[in-house]
Structure 1
Amino acid sequence: MQHDIHSDRILILDFGSQYTQLIARRVREAGVYCELHPWDMDETAIRDFAPKGVILSGGPESVTGDNPPRAPEIVFQLGVPVLGICYGMQTMAAQLGGRVETHHHQEFGYAQVRARGHTALLKDIEDHTTPEGWGLLDVWMSHGDRVVEMPAGFKLMASSEGAPIAGMADETRRFYGVQFHPEVTHTRQGDRILNRFVHEICGCAALWTSANIIEDSIRHIRELVGNDEVILGLSGGVDSSVVAALLHRAIGEQLTCVFVDNGLLRLDEGDQVMATFAQHMGIRVIRVDAEQRFLGELAGVADPEEKRKIIGRVFVEIFEEESNKLTNAKWLAQGTI
């Protein structure tokens, strides 16, 4: 049975943290589809996205300032788990009835937090254990504000020297907040924490894998293209090469690649492109030897930007000339848009 690899999805709301893209990367590395959107994403769009969980990122603003960024209220009404990271935890606390203050003891860099309360998010995840049996985590902090009063329904999940409330949890609603950054490698157990959130707490399956993405793309291409023919501009670079391989697997001989050899490639690179795609992979490739045309257009031009524009223009002209000869083609494929 074909699974929808996008069905188990996480929504990441970005409050401007320098680490937000890392959150998305960690979630995808866990095999879960996610999308990153601004913190003020429209509530209807959030509901339509239908996430299985929401992550609120960190950010440079202060919850205690005038008109600070706030998570859309719908986030806390969807009935799905929510994880607040750094600023995300602070706005969660403030919006749900807790209290946040700016404190003179700020934390930037390595810190050690003690896990408390045996919560679903942190239970049995630790870097060290004290003689008393307390679990300790080596983490990365970056904050000036801190939560000083948790909202009703929350319990203490972690604490550090600089943040007595370094983590909080409402297990009933599955709301969790951590003052540290699990997405960075300096938080040694960060991957385990995020994996536990998306898999065990949110219930997402690991469907977003390279193999599944390829098969899903092939199925989509076949449904879209049908029996039509497709033209692809092949340069030999990563983007167009991946598209060529993917299209060939999907539609075989319906694909024709046009390789414009401008004479500016590395030594023998043009021959390597033909050997890889035409000879070894069996893809239909039209090689256009356009070296003299390109060099003629570039003769006497010294400005790099002007050269770039000339190369782009001449490539388009040659590609259009060749593609116009392929009268049965209905689709144009590109590796880079």
Structure 2
Amino acid sequence: MVRNDIHEKKILIIDFGSQYTQLIARRVREIGVYCEIWDYAVDEDQFLNFAASGIIFSGGPNSANTESSPRPPEFIYDTGVPILGICYGMQILAETFGGKVESSAKSEFGAAQVLVNDSCPLLNGLGEGLVGKGESYLDVWMSHGDKVVELPNGFNLSASTQSAPIAAMSDEERKYFGIQFHPEVTHTDQGDLILERFVCEVCCCEALWNSENIVTDAIENVRTLVGSDTVLLGLSG
């Protein structure tokens, strides 16, 4: 019997201080994929040893226009690993690759409708109410004060609203994606499917991280560690 490594394919969430970061991790784990949350000040050796199959940049309270705002180290972009930037994470992606981020005259917080371009692999077919060739609307949850106003090099427009002309963007060649709204909250229609498409289709992760496999993996690890030796186990109660 071939034993699958439930930790071989995994997602790394880079935390920029979002109130929803733990919720992103929960959604990824509900898909059945192992993930960890790390602070944005990532150690290079630790990062390379972790060998993430995909990276998610969380949102955050800071402005991408401020020089002192948190940013991931440049070596993250040298690995060729797919990246999904959410909210502030999208703005950091845009700024890093030559896009333009501006402060909005009015912050956008709450329910919104985005006009979806169905050419984006994360959003294709998710919208309702066809409004044009390859375009439809999707109900989402926004929480931002800045917005991307110019696409970065290599990116295409994937979604927009009246107040956020670039509400989603994609660079399929490098497998970089940015979404201004929050797919991790239940207020966003089919947000779980957006994350699943990134994790499973773009990052090629398998849904192996579940209770049954976790127990099996733990038992196998103990057997390997103990071998033919004896064990003294202290059990509460």
TM value normalised by structure 1? 0.67
RMSD, matched Cα: 1.3
Provide the residue aligned with 1:107 in structure 2.
108
1:164 aligns with 2:165: yes
SS of alignment partner, residue 132 of structure 2: coil
Report % sequence identity. 53
Cα deviations by residue, 1:159-204 (Å, 9 ceiling, x for unpaired): 0122110000011101000000000111121100000000001101
CA distance in 1, matches of 2:132, 2:51: 43
How far off is 1:117 after superposition?
5.0
SS of alignment partner, residue 230 of structure 1: coil
1:68 aligns with 2:69: yes
How far off is 1:64 after superposition?
0.9
Provide the residue aligned with 2:120 in structure 1.
119
Provide the residue aligned with 1:184 in structure 2.
185
Cα deviations by residue, 1:11-56 (Å, 9 ceiling, x for unpaired): 1100000000011111111111111100111122212211111000
CA distance in 2, matches of 1:216, 1:152: 43
Contact 1:54 1:75 (C-alpha < 8 Å) held by counterparts = no
Contact 1:147 1:165 (C-alpha < 8 Å) held by counterparts = yes
Aligned residue runs from structure 1 range 1-337, under 5 A: 1-116=2-117, 118-126=119-127, 128-132=128-132, 134-226=135-227, 227-234=229-236, 259=237
Aligned residue identity for 1:132: G
Q: Which has the higher helix share?
A: 1
SS of alignment partner, residue 62 of structure 2: coil
SS of alignment partner, residue 18 of structure 2: coil
How far off is 1:102 after superposition?
0.5
Cα deviations by residue, 1:188-229 (Å, 9 ceiling, x for unpaired): 211000000000011011111111101001111222234323
| Structure possessing the higher radius of gyration over alpha carbons | 1
Aligned residue identity for 2:88: Y
Where structure 1 has 5 or more consecutive residues not aligned to the other structure, the ranges are: 235-258, 260-337
Q: How many residues align?
A: 234
Cα deviations by residue, 1:125-174 (Å, 9 ceiling, x for unpaired): 22x22353632111110000001111111010110122110000011101
CA distance in 1, matches of 2:93, 2:77: 9
CA distance in 1, matches of 2:152, 2:201: 24
How far off is 1:233 after superposition?
3.2
SS of alignment partner, residue 41 of structure 2: coil
CA distance in 2, matches of 1:214, 1:73: 37
CA distance in 2, matches of 1:140, 1:65: 24
TM value normalised by structure 2? 0.95
Contact 2:199 2:205 (C-alpha < 8 Å) held by counterparts = yes
Provide the residue aligned with 1:293 in structure 2.
none
Where structure 2 has 5 or more consecutive residues not aligned to the other structure, the ranges are: none
